[in-house]
Structure formats: structure tokens, C-alpha cells
Amino acid sequence: MKVLVVEDNKDLSENIQNYLKQEGIICESSYTFNEAMDKIVSFEYDCIILDIMLPDGNGLKLLDFIKEQKMKSGVLVISAKNSLEDKLSGLNMGADDYITKPFHLPELNARVNAIYRRKNLDGDTIITFNEIEVNTTTYVAKVNGGILDLTKKEFDLLLYFLTNKNRVLTKQSVAEHLWGDYTDNLSNFDFVYQHVKNLRKKISNANGKDYIGTVYGLGYRFNTNQ
């Protein structure tokens, strides 16, 4: 997968690239509107991560251009504005998804992957890892060929782990992934623990390996070399 990161803040751009590169994603970056325009015209990207506020132009204009030229690239809009209007106008203008600052890198990664799956692999939306198989269109998860009886949240959780293998996922990041924006108000992440526990139990019951481990004080990690 090839991704263009259009973000004027170098530190933030580095964070994103650093994380995505470790997932085997090829990353390029542009820090200005014009730079981004040049790259979009010259190269093809699977996904463009687009900050709306750029020093020399509005990112939504780039989005306009991409849609006008009927480019295949998916677009994930990043904005500090979490206002409804911006969210709607971004999505109405053809952005594939929208994420607000400050986001979690695993969450960004999960969204980029989701966009990539929707855009590029027509119908082929099965993610496999060893004995685990997850179909993102039918929402069916299998272990050793046998169907796992998962709730919607447990399915999302499994998919989140699979797209962020070997990464520390904090409870906050998991909570936000599963419950959305309003988890800010919930100081208690016991229910994250509950869901992770249930998922692990269901995988083990189907004779799958227990890949999900806790990382002391921080959260959880899906360990591939278990």
C-alpha cells in the first residue's frame, strides 16, 4: 500500500509515517498544499491522509481536485475541528473517512487499512493470520475454519488487533475505537478489559492460540510470535 501524508506539521507527519512504515506501508509526505498537488498529479496513491488546514491552502480543495479527476485514491481527512459541519462537508465532498486530532496512531492505521480494503480489493476482504480468518464484508470470523460467535464489538476488537499486530493498544485507544468520541467522559475502562477477556476466551475455546497479551500499565498487544 502506498500512502501520501499531507500534513504541515513535521512532527505529526513523522509520527504517522513512522507508524505506517512499520506496518509495511510505503509513505510519502508533503507539507504544503502545492507540494501535495504536485505529488497527487504525478503519482498514484492508494490512500491520501489529508490535513484540512494547510499553510498555503485549504485541504478540502485538494479533495475537490481528487474527486474531479476521478482518482482512485481513498482520502482520510484529518482535522482539529470536530464540528459536525466540517465532518459532514468533508464526507459530502467525497472523503472516505474523517478523523479528528488528537487521534491514536493505531486508530489512524485501522482507518487507512479499512479504506484500502474498500477501495482496492474488490470483494476480497478476508484478512488471515495463521489460524484466524476475518471477513470484513460479511463480519464473519473463523478460527481453524470454525466460525467464532462474536458480538459486533468483539469482531471490531479482533479486526483492530489484526490491523495493529505487535503494537501496544492502550485502553483509551481501544475504547475510542469501539465506542467512538464520547468515551472521553468515561474514566473507567473496565469494559475494555471485559471485551478483551471475552474475545480471548472465545478464541481459546476454538483452539486458537492466545495471541493477545496485556502490556503492564499500558494496554494490550497482539503478539504474532506467540
Partner 1 sequence: MVWDTGLIQINDNTPGMRLITKFTLLYIIITGFVIALGSVIVFREIINRVDNEAYIKLNSWIRGTVDQLKEGVPLEDLQIHTDITVEELDFEQPLIAHYEIDSVGIFPPRRRGDDRRLIIGESFKIGNRHYLVKAHSFIAEPDEIQEGLEKSLYITFLILLAIVVVISFFISNRILLPFNKSLQAMSTFNIKNQLPIKLKQPRTREFKKLNEFLEKMTTKAVNDYKSLKEFTENASHEIQTPLAIIRGKLELMMETNIDENQAEYINSIQNAVNKLSAVNHTLVLLTKLDNQEYASEEINFSKYVKDGIWDFQELIEMHSIKLRQDIKEGVLLNLNPFLAEILMNNLLSNAVKHNIPDGYINVVLTNSELRIENSGEPLQVPVEDLFKRFKKNKQSSSSTGLGLAIVKQICDMQDMNIDYINEEEKHIIRVHF
Among 22, 69, 205, 226, the residue binding partner 1 under the rule CB under 8 A is 22
d(CA 77, CA 138): 26
Q: Which of 130, 124, 125 is nearest to 143 (CA)?
A: 130
CB of 12 to partner 1, least distance (A): 5
Among 58, 194, 224, 226, the residue binding partner 1 under the rule CB under 8 A is 194
Looking at residues 50 to 109 of the shown chain, list those that interact with partner 1 (rule: CB under 8 A). Answer: 53, 80-84, 100-106
Among 179, 197, 214, 226, the residue binding partner 1 under the rule CB under 8 A is 179
71 vs 99, which CB is nearer to partner 1?
A: 99
Question: Residue 170's Cα: distance from chain center in Å?
Answer: 15
Residues with Cβ within 8 Å of 137's Cβ and at least 6 positions away in sequence, in order, are 123, 125
Q: Should residue 18 be labelled a site residue for partner 1 when binding is judged by CB under 8 A?
A: yes
CA distances from 193 to 202, 224, 226 (A): 14, 20, 20
Looking at residues 102 to 161 of the shown chain, list those that interact with partner 1 (rule: CB under 8 A). Answer: 102-106
Residue with cell 481527512: 77
d(CA 153, CA 200): 13
Among 42, 152, 182, 225, the residue binding partner 1 under the rule CB under 8 A is 182
Environment class of residue 142 by beta-carbon count within 10 Å: exposed (0-12), middle (13-18) or buried (19+)?
Answer: middle
Among 130, 137, 188, 214, the residue binding partner 1 under the rule CB under 8 A is 188
Total binding residues for partner 1 by CB under 8 A?
41
* Contact present, 147 and 141 (Cβ < 8 Å): yes
CB of 116 to partner 1, least distance (A): 20
Positions touching partner 1 (CB under 8 A) are: 9, 11-12, 15-16, 18-19, 22, 53, 80-84, 100-106, 167-168, 170, 172-173, 179, 181-182, 184-188, 190-191, 194, 215-218
